[in-house]
Amino acid sequence: MQKYVIRRVLLAIPVLLLSSLIVFGLMRVMPGDALIALMGESGNVGQKELAKLRKDLGLDRPYHEQYLLWLWQMVSLSPGDSIFTNEPIPVSLKKAIPVTLELATLAMIIGLVIAVPVGVLSATRQDKPSDYIGRVVAVSGLSIPDFWLGTLVITFAAIWIHWIPPIGYVSLWDSPWRNLQQFLLPAAVLGFRLSAATMRMTRSTVLETLREDYVRTAWAKGLAGRIVVYKHALKNALIPVVTIIGGQLGTLLAGTVVVEQIFALPGMGRLTVEAILYRDYPVVQTNVMLVAATLVTLNLIVDLTYAWLDPRIRYR
Amino acid sequence: MATVPVRVATFEDPASASISRVQALWLTMKRKPLGAASAALLVVIVLTAIFADVLAPYDPLETRPEIRLSAPSRAHPFGTDDIGRDVLSRIIYGSRISLWVGLLAVGIGTAAGMVIGLLCGYCEGRLDLFGQRVMDAIQAIPGLVLALAIVSVLKPNTTNAMIAIAIVIIPGNSRIVRGAVLSAKQNRYVEAAQALGCRHPRIIASHILPNVTAPILVIASIWLGNAILIEATLSFLGVGTQPPTPSWGLMLSSTGRAFMEQAPWLAIFPGLAISLAVLGFNLFGDTLRDAWDPKLRRQG
């Protein structure tokens, strides 16, 4: 296992470096440079001011120097200030990260709470009405855009039950009840989307496992159906589901971008979209890199968990 | 970057297959009516986009402030928006944007992914190692975030949204093609062609490519739904198609949300259109996969 862990960690480093090159390169292919793109839109900016700003931001240096400097800033957790608000980026991130973290965690819990029981029910009642309902729900989850579902949920909650989520973000520690009211709907919307793929995977792996010899033996021994399914079949069926959850992390992080926008939650997603709209490139490149690093790390953890659960993986 | 245990699909030489791919698809659709229904749905959407000029009852850009925010009626079955434009006509024309962006983005992404996957799988070695790490690096950035960053760099419009979606598609496709190429290379007839001294381009064109087309078409059909969804999301966030061009995502963000309580039809119908199109492509992709490539089922 130790060798496997070292190999996986070593593979993650070049991927992260290449991701940083892609993000950095992307911000530099902007016609002219980032500053001209930003200032050009506001107009009335003299050449002197532009040159000064370019010097302050280090944009007058050669690309390789800019890249190394940025990499150092990222590693030393001091990625600079926002061009638009002048706020230091770590300060904005400190406010935004807990919001996204809470939203993502709640959505993941809701997604799993929906996906696993429905997936098991679908598999144990294959081709019965409850199976069809489960499968339709899963395909809908993959097809309904989260921004549409979010919009409908807000509106119909307001029209039918005369309830709108409290406005103005309140942290979990300041007012847990108010915070939960703010996060429940967005997390449910995101969780519904996440549940779709997990539900499909749970159904197919439980179906496969139920046909295994050891499950047949359990039935033959006269064990109760619930024990056969939950104690014997589900335990092994859930191993591949871990991989699907790993694959879902990208969807989860991308989903927070949209859902935070709709429900006005001041998280990472909203910060990134606003930075993109205002062409605030230091914030964009820091946020995108942070998301990539988070995804690589989480996937690494998922891979290691999978290898721990299924020893065959380690010896490949 | 999660290393999903890739089950490398192996494909029979198409020439020796007992039934053609069209026949296999036809048989699957007969067995699974949902597949046939999705194909019918896609035909309707494609025909709507092609004949939008004929089908749309009004000009999608024509404004008539005197009938603004009219509820659905016989004259305007999907109602009108905040400046009196017919919502049905805008949805019909919007199908053009969605399909156009989806088809072009998937076409470009698939072609590029195929070239990279073919080169990596066929040459293996350092090129493969480097190529796959670059693909890993692109995949490390969530698709929507990458598309948003690309569009912000280029400039928000339909063409750039399409380019961004194409770039997002490349890594996944290259992996599928690489897997299929690695598998096809194991076939005896490829070894025989190499032993006979056939040149690499000929081996790729005659013996490898035919084995790669099935998984590519399956993945492309599934990606079409995702591409439509990403385009709608980018337009919804204001960095895709720009007003006044009718786009489903834009219709939802510009007027749909603002007048949701007063005129819910402004959000309901464009959202339904997006969901139906994505659902159609997802279900049709599943059917193609069942018909042509059941071994890919666990990867999708």
Nearest to B122 by CA among B179, B197, B54: B179
Give yes or no for a cis peptide into B244 (omega within 30° of 0).
yes
The residues, any chain, with a CB within 8 Å of residue A64's CB and separated by 6 or more, are none
The residues, any chain, with a CB within 8 Å of residue B278's CB and separated by 6 or more, are A142, A143, A144, A145, B225, B226, B228, B229
Give the pLDDT of residue B1. Answer: 40
Please judge whether B136 and A261 are an interchain contact, meaning their C-beta atoms are less than 8 angstroms apart.
no
The C-alpha atoms of residue B243 and residue B224 are separated, in whole angstroms, by: 23
Instruction: Using alpha carbons only, give the angle A191, A197, A199 rounded to the nearest 5 degrees.
Output: 80
Q: Which residue has the tokens 């983005």?
A: B105
How many residues comprise chain B? Answer: 300
* B135 close to A (CB below 8 A): no
Give the pLDDT of residue B294. Answer: 54
Give the pLDDT of residue A307. Answer: 75
A303 chain-B contacts, CB cut-off 8 A: 1-3
C-beta separation of B271 from B228 below 8 A: no
Give the pLDDT of residue B299. Answer: 42
Please judge whether B5 and A295 are an interchain contact, meaning their C-beta atoms are less than 8 angstroms apart.
no
Which segment of B141-145, B200-204, B252-256 scores lowest on mean pLDDT? B252-256
Which segment of A96-110, B23-37, B49-63, B117-131 scores lowest on mean pLDDT? B23-37
Q: How far is B51 from chain A (nearest CA, A)?
A: 25
Flag whether pLDDT at B4 surpasses 50: no
Provide the whole-model pTM. Answer: 0.83
The C-alpha atoms of residue B154 and residue A29 are separated, in whole angstroms, by: 8
C-beta separation of B256 from B270 below 8 A: yes
User: pLDDT tens digits, residue range B68-107?
Assistant: 999 999 999 999 998 999 999 999 999 999 999 999 999 9
Concatenated DSSP letters of A182-236? HHHHHHHHHHHHHHHHHHHHHHHHHHHHHTSHHHHHHHHTT--HHHIIIIIIHHH
Please judge whether A18 and B137 are an interchain contact, meaning their C-beta atoms are less than 8 angstroms apart.
yes
User: SS3 of B78, please?
Assistant: coil
The C-alpha atoms of residue B138 and residue B13 are separated, in whole angstroms, by: 33
C-beta separation of B95 from B48 below 8 A: yes
Tell me what the mean pLDDT of segment A31-49 comes to: 63
Please judge whether A19 and B297 are an interchain contact, meaning their C-beta atoms are less than 8 angstroms apart.
no
Nearest to A155 among B2, B233, B261 (CB): B261
* A254 close to B (CB below 8 A): yes
Flag whether pLDDT at A289 surpasses 60: yes
Which segment of A93-97, A124-128, B289-293 scores lowest on mean pLDDT? B289-293
Nearest to B120 by CA among B128, B111, B132, B109: B128
C-beta separation of B174 from B131 below 8 A: yes
Amino acid making up residue B46: V
A170: phi then psi, degrees, rounded to nearest 5? -125, 135
* CB–CB contacts below 8 A, A to B: 152
Q: How far is B4 from chain A (nearest CA, A)?
A: 6
Q: How far is CA A7 from the centre of its chain?
A: 25
Mutate to test the interface with B, among A23, A139, A147 (most CBs of B within 10 A): A147
Q: Which residue of A has its CA nearest to B236?
A: A147
Mutate to test the interface with B, among A28, A33, A100, A148 (most CBs of B within 10 A): A148
Helices (H) and strands (E) in chain A, counts: 13, 0
Query: Which span out of A186-190, A299-303, A304-308, B14-18 was modeled with the highest average pLDDT?
Result: A186-190
Q: Which residue has the tokens 């993945």?
A: B219
Query: Per the structure block, which two tokens stand in for B15?
Result: 């020439």
User: pLDDT tens digits, residue range B7-33?
Assistant: 444 444 444 455 677 787 888 777 777
Which segment of A1-15, A23-37, B12-26, B176-190 scores lowest on mean pLDDT? B12-26
B272/A86: higher pLDDT:
B272
B 61-120 near A (Cβ less than 8 A): none
Give the pLDDT of residue B295. Answer: 53
The C-alpha atoms of residue A188 and residue A198 are separated, in whole angstroms, by: 15
Flag whether pLDDT at B42 surpasses 90: yes
The residues, any chain, with a CB within 8 Å of residue A138's CB and separated by 6 or more, are A118, A195, A196, A197, A199, A200, A203
Please judge whether A30 and B153 are an interchain contact, meaning their C-beta atoms are less than 8 angstroms apart.
yes
* A35 close to B (CB below 8 A): no
User: SS3 of B89, please?
Assistant: helix
Query: Which span out of A228-242, A254-268, B41-55, B197-211 was modeled with the highest average pLDDT?
Result: B41-55
Helix spans in chain B (H): 21-31, 33-50, 52-55, 87-123, 125-139, 143-154, 158-185, 188-195, 200-203, 209-236, 248-251, 265-292
Flag whether pLDDT at A312 surpasses 80: no
Please judge whether B271 and A148 are an interchain contact, meaning their C-beta atoms are less than 8 angstroms apart.
yes
User: pLDDT tens digits, residue range A230-276?
Assistant: 888 887 777 777 777 777 777 788 888 889 988 889 999 999 888 88
